[in-house]
Amino acid sequence: MAKDNVMGSSSKRREDVRFLKGRGRYTDDMNRPGQTYAYILRSWSAHATLNSVDTAAASEAEGVIRVFTGKDIEEAGLGGVPCGWEITDKNGDPMKEPAHPILATGKVRHVGDPIAVVVAETYQQARDAAEMIDIDMTDLPAVVDMRTAETLGTGVHDEAPDNLCYDWELGDAAATDAAFASAAHVTTLEFINNRLVANPMEPRCAIGDYDQDADHYTLYTTSQNPHVIRLLMGAFVLSIPEHKLRVYAPDVGGGFGTKIFHYAEEAFVTWASAQIKRPVKWTSDRSEAFISDAHGRDHVTKAELALDAEGKFLALRADTRANMGAYLSTFAPCVPTWLHGTLLAGQYATPAVHCRVRAMFTNTVPVDAYRGAGRPEATYLLERIINKAAQELGMDQAELRRKNFIRSFPYDTPVALQYDTGDYDATLDAVLKMADYDGFAARKAESASRGKLRGIGLSCYIEACGIAPSSLVGALGARAGLYEAATIRVNPTGSVTVMTGSHSHGQGHETTFAQVVSDALGIPEDQIEIVHGDTDKIPFGMGTYGSRSLAVGGSAIVKAVDKVVAKGKKIAAHLLEAAESDIVFEDGQYKVAGTDKAKAFAEVSLAAYVPHNYPIEEIEPGLEETAFYDPKNFTYPAGSYLCEVEVDPQTGKVEIVALSASDDFGNVVNPMIVEGQVHGGLAQGLGQAMLENAAYDEHGQLVAGSYMDYAMPLAVDLPSFNVETAEGTPCTHNPLGVKGCGEAGAIGSPPALVNAVVNALQDHGIDHIDMPLSPLRVWTAIQNASVKQAAE
Amino acid sequence: MYNFEFNRPTDLSAAVDALRGDGAQALGGGQTLIPVLKQRLAAPTTLVDLTGIESLKGIRRMGDMLVIGGGTTHGAVAASGDVAAAIPGLVELASKIGDPQVRNRGTIGGSLANNDPAACYPAAALALGATIETNQRKIEADDFFQGLYATSLEEGEVITAVHFPIPTASTYQKFEQPASRFSLTSIFLAKMSDGSVRVGVTGAGADGVFRHEGLEQALGSNFSASAVDGVSVAAEGMSNDLHGTPEYRANLVKVMTKRAVEALS
Ligand SMILES: Cc1cc2nc3c(=O)[nH]c(=O)nc-3n(C[C@H](O)[C@H](O)[C@H](O)COP(=O)(O)OP(=O)(O)OC[C@H]3O[C@@H](n4cnc5c(N)ncnc54)[C@H](O)[C@@H]3O)c2cc1C
């Protein structure tokens, strides 16, 4: 029997048994017979004309099988790396979409841009030979700062001499202007949302394996969505039809968005394997990951909030420059637009919102979705400017928010979304209590007695998850649908194999999805196997990102389970000699309603595969069902976070003394996994706010190109989190009533921390410091403020 | 990495012989050298691993000196009761280097020989007026450090031991660089038996580790935090990077020195 209350129980993560024993099976753990190794020679210049690439000596080096350059790719007629989303700009024109070659030709456009690949018998030989490649480049001025990119006179791409990919807007500009004209108070905030490197624990890896006899390709890769890679690479880059291409992403050691995208290396190894008729493996090292994995965030924004005399929000205006980097990564164009502009209502009934986004090309690594993707940027904008408004008006940060909460649902925002449900007062009340907001003054005084400045910062976030209704995203420029697929294979003796299009790279799907199926079918979790990541086994899948796995992938599983049960009822009715309409399925039993006649789930499955006594005229043997689920709307997780800090004014060092989080994720399947997801998200969000900064210099060199300079959050930097999941408002439009929890922590926490530090320093007249709030930045802000105050 | 010969002698003379070879280099705990090799930024033809030489390891108290073998790990120093009793500041210092893996491999000799401008041990060696003993000679700490990553060691010279005069009090106040967690600016403060005060500063100087004479004099005549206030620490000569401007580092020199004084008061 399944255990009681499968849904809502903290089942231990079954995948952890292999992960914790070091027995996870990652792409780099796999080796194919006859495998060769690829080493990629990458540009050390941010922007240069590529005059010549001489591979003669390298080709002769020991162990070298072949050296490939952009010319080889061009001659083979391969497509470039495609972009999966087209934005239409404010004039109705499509975005600029320059070619993204697999290997550079003519020009290199960022440090890390691949120039040539050596394929050799061993990795060392490939790397040795790469040093013999003679490259002649002429440096060009590098485009680095988005604020000057339009007028610099140097274009990253000829198609966009002003480096503008698109100039997009959303919302009613006239209504917004009118509201500003009548406002009692306008708060303005200019800020930078810092660029981040995703840094999954497992660097990327890809193995291409071409089978000449079958004329069939296999790509083993570190991906969050193998079917999407098969579609993009097969159809747009290599012209390999789906039935000739298998993409397999086994255990993947974290993704955080950066493993969503289709990368040139994947296409290269797949294609090269057919050229040399041997498998080709490429494994990124950490330094390479810094300059070849898509980065995240990187906005420069001016925001304005109009309020009336009582503190009601009248309108919000946002003008953002978003960095695309040197090429358009798979989902890059939609991140600052449809995943950012649409979230600018937040939890508030602001009647008018207008958002302008200019996407810029620069000579930097491409920027794309990173945990939260657009929504953290929107939340940061709103939650920071609200605190600045509260500071200017002398109002309490919680009260100002409460004055403006949306309280009736469904709610149509002025930025194109419809929130189905929510209760923002509930999570705010909860977090104020959890964090003892009322006792803050006493704690501040105690800190002051030790020479420390204590601050408290609130952030009330909302996000749109469970991406997304296909027809909607199609209208917005997506070049794919965003449903999910699942197959439930009931085996003859009643165990169940679930094939899901969602991909687990740390999220614990093998546990959560088993709980969902166990609950629905009334069979124990250990009778359920979750299979993911292999295009040969799974009908189709759009993969895992945007906190969509349970809301969309889980819903597909539920739909497939429903089909299994419906067919099972027909079989049971036959076996029990009852009418189908009298059969009920509960606790793993098909029962004749109102009688004690019943057939167990396994008896019915066996009958389906041994159809001796079977309604064969009416239904086919076997018990396997597939469902595709296309969501009707996004889901809207929301919550309130309170961060409390102590600032050391002498060094500028910030210590996070407490972080309390109250989240509404709708229904919760596994509270322990949800809490773990929130913890991870918080660590990344606080990492962005306090530590991480992918800084480039004016020449386009990544200054923070290793852990010597790129600061990652460590356990010692973080407090013990106080996390509670609210009773919650279940999602109204998916069968599980779930909303998604994977990104919340990373979305809600950065403004909470910055608000807390600014709150601590407000007596110094400080109203903003850009992230990350490093000791240097905080100390410098205090110095500048003292100088300013002295002058006044 | 490039290919190299690997040599693991068990006595010092064999190591010294091996290091005479062209392109030979000593390998201590490898916590600096191995990452450098992995990035192909160095290409020794032979690595002479010193970790098999027992005579390079160990901690001994000899009268008013504490002698630490050049091959002694940070972990051994951090855990040593002798060190804790004689020079507690060294325990603080060693226990804050990197993580347990780094401390269990990295050695005092490797740290001093490398003279990373953000490394911790150089501050202690200077502040305590240590003598660095090699297979050839003894070098005073004041003569040993020659700027960024430079020392007065000759090619193939091996640090066999470090002799620390035992102070009456000592402390290490580390302010970590947020990413590497090496020193952004840290202070080793020692009160010597002759009554003098010595201040070693690491992480801050554009030329690497240094002693701050102004602070030493002020604290020598008045060992109090307020004495530090009166000293001017110039931003000039401090290094500048993502994590600290010269002004910020100069500020940290004073703040961390005060904390060191408070820790000893
Ligand atoms: C993650 C991490 C964090 C770290 N954090 C810190 C920190 O906070 N503070 C800090 O000070 N250091 C830190 N380090 C560096 C660490 O202390 C190293 O152990 C030290 O810098 C080098 O010592 P080693 O024995 O590993 O030397 P190796 O790496 O083996 O060698 C370094 C250099 O010294 C030479 N050498 C080694 N031993 C001798 C000897 N006996 N005589 C002569 N030459 C020798 C080698 O030839 C080489 O040139 C960190 C290192 C890592 C990897």
Instruction: Please list every residue in chain A whose beta carbon sits closer than 8 Å to the beta carbon of residue B244.
Output: 776
pLDDT higher than threshold 80 for residue A537: yes
Strands (DSSP E) along chain B, which ranges? 5-7, 24-27, 46-49, 59-62, 65-69, 131-134, 138-140, 159-165, 169-176, 183-191, 197-202, 210-211
* pLDDT value, residue A1: 44
**Three-state SS sequence of B203-237:** CCECCCCEECHHHHHHHHHCCCHHHHHCCCCCCCC
Residue-wise pLDDT tens digits, A475-492 = 999 999 999 999 999 999
**Using CA positions, which residue lies closest to atom 37 of ligand 1?**
B110
Instruction: Please list every residue in chain B whose beta carbon sits closer than 8 Å to the beta carbon of residue A653.
Output: 175
Count of residues in chain B = 265
A776 touches chain B (CB under 8 A): yes
β-pairing verdict for B210-211 and B197-202? antiparallel
Q: Where are the domains of chain B?
A: 5-49, 54-165, 169-264
d(CA A653, nearest CA chain B) in Å: 10
- Region A665-680: what's the mean pLDDT? 97
DSSP-derived letter for residue A34 is: T
Residue A626: beta bridge partners?
A: A487
Report whether residue B182 contacts ligand 1, using a CB cutoff of 6 Å: yes
Question: How far, in Å, is the centroid of ligand 1 from the Cα of B203?
Answer: 15
Residue B26: pLDDT band (50, 70, 90) is: very high
Question: How far, in Å, is the centroid of ligand 1 from the Cα of B107?
Answer: 6
A779 touches chain B (CB under 8 A): yes
d(CA A684, nearest CA chain B) in Å: 15
Residue-wise pLDDT tens digits, A558-571 = 999 999 999 999 99
- Chain centroid, CA A783 distance in Å: 37
Residue A4: pLDDT band (50, 70, 90) is: low
d(CA B226, nearest CA chain A) in Å: 15
Segment holding A217, helix H or strand E: strand A216-221
* pLDDT value, residue A606: 97
Q: Transcribe B231-254 into DSSP letters.
A: S---STTB--BTTB-HHHHHHHHH
Q: Let me know: does A500 contact A531? Beta carbons within 8 Å.
A: yes
* pLDDT value, residue B158: 98
Report whether residue B120 contacts ligand 1, using a CB cutoff of 6 Å: yes
Count of other CB atoms within 10 angstroms of residue A695: 16
Q: Where are the domains of chain A?
A: 16-22+483-629, 31-140+201-254+259-292, 295-468+633-791
| Cβ contact, residue pair B179, A711, below 8 Å | yes
Residue A788: pLDDT band (50, 70, 90) is: confident
- Which ranges of A122-223 does DSSP label H, i.e. alpha helix? 123-130, 146-149, 173-181
Among A663, A657, A575, A585, which residue's Cα sits nearest to residue A611?
A575
Report whether residue B53 contacts ligand 1, using a CB cutoff of 6 Å: no
Count of residues in chain A = 792
Q: Does domain A31-140+201-254+259-292 have CATH number 3.40.50.620?
A: no
Report whether residue B111 contacts ligand 1, using a CB cutoff of 6 Å: yes
Tell me the fold of A16-22+483-629.
Answer: Aldehyde Oxidoreductase; domain 4 (3.30.365)
A657 touches chain B (CB under 8 A): no
| Cβ contact, residue pair B242, A707, below 8 Å | no
| Cβ contact, residue pair A779, B251, below 8 Å | yes
Residue B151: pLDDT band (50, 70, 90) is: very high
B62 touches chain A (CB under 8 A): no
Residue B228: beta bridge partners?
A: none
Q: Does domain A295-468+633-791 have CATH number 3.30.365.10?
A: yes
Count of other CB atoms within 10 angstroms of residue A112: 24
Report whether residue B30 contacts ligand 1, using a CB cutoff of 6 Å: yes
- Provide the residue type at A45 as one letter: S
Question: How far, in Å, is the centroid of ligand 1 from the Cα of A370?
Answer: 35
* pLDDT value, residue A791: 81
Instruction: Please list every residue in chain B whose beta carbon sits closer than 8 Å to the beta carbon of residue A776.
Output: 243-245, 248
Q: Does domain B5-49 have CATH number 3.30.43.10?
A: yes
| Cβ contact, residue pair A695, B242, below 8 Å | yes
d(CA B181, nearest CA chain A) in Å: 8
Report whether residue B51 contacts ligand 1, using a CB cutoff of 6 Å: no
Q: Does domain B169-264 have CATH number 3.30.390.50?
A: yes
Question: How far, in Å, is the centroid of ligand 1 from the Cα of A694?
Answer: 27
- On the question of a common fold for A16-22+483-629 and A295-468+633-791, the answer reads yes
Question: How far, in Å, is the centroid of ligand 1 from the Cα of B131?
Answer: 19
* pLDDT value, residue A237: 97
CB contact residues (below 8 A), chain B span 178-197, against chain A:
178-181, 184
CATH top class, domain B54-165: alpha beta
| Cβ contact, residue pair A651, B178, below 8 Å | no
Residue B112: pLDDT band (50, 70, 90) is: very high
Burial class (CB in 10 A: 0-12, 13-18, 19+), A20: exposed
Mean pLDDT of chain A: 97
pLDDT higher than threshold 80 for residue A2: no
B248 touches chain A (CB under 8 A): yes
CA distance A583 to A569: 6
Q: Let me know: does A413 contact A170? Beta carbons within 8 Å.
A: no
| Cβ contact, residue pair B245, A695, below 8 Å | no
CA distance A742 to A677: 5
- Region B151-166: what's the mean pLDDT? 97
Mean pLDDT of chain B: 97
ipTM of predicted complex? 0.97
DSSP-derived letter for residue A232 is: I
- CA nearest to A131 within chain B: B40
Question: How far, in Å, is the centroid of ligand 1 from the Cα of B30?
Answer: 6
Residue-wise pLDDT tens digits, A336-371 = 999 999 999 999 999 999 999 999 999 999 999 999
Residues 6+ apart with CB under 8 A from A173: A354
Q: How far is CA A445 from CA A347, A440, B36, in A?
A: 32, 9, 49
- Provide the residue type at A253 as one letter: G
* pLDDT value, residue A3: 56
- On the question of a common fold for B5-49 and B54-165, the answer reads no
Chain B contact probe: residue of A651, A691, A698 with most B CBs at under 10 A:
A651
Question: How far, in Å, is the centroid of ligand 1 from the Cα of B135?
Answer: 19
CA contacts within 13 A on the Cβ side of B171: 12
Q: How many CB pairs under 8 A join A and B?
A: 50
Instruction: Please list every residue in chain B whose beta carbon sits closer than 8 Å to the beta carbon of residue A775.
Output: 175, 178, 184, 243, 248
pLDDT higher than threshold 50 for residue B231: yes
Cα three-residue angle A396-A401-A404, rounded to 5 degrees? 130
B265 touches chain A (CB under 8 A): no
Instruction: Please list every residue in chain A whose beta carbon sits closer than 8 Å to the beta carbon of residue B39.
Output: 287
DSSP-derived letter for residue B39 is: T
pLDDT higher than threshold 90 for residue A789: no
Count of other CB atoms within 10 angstroms of residue A579: 10
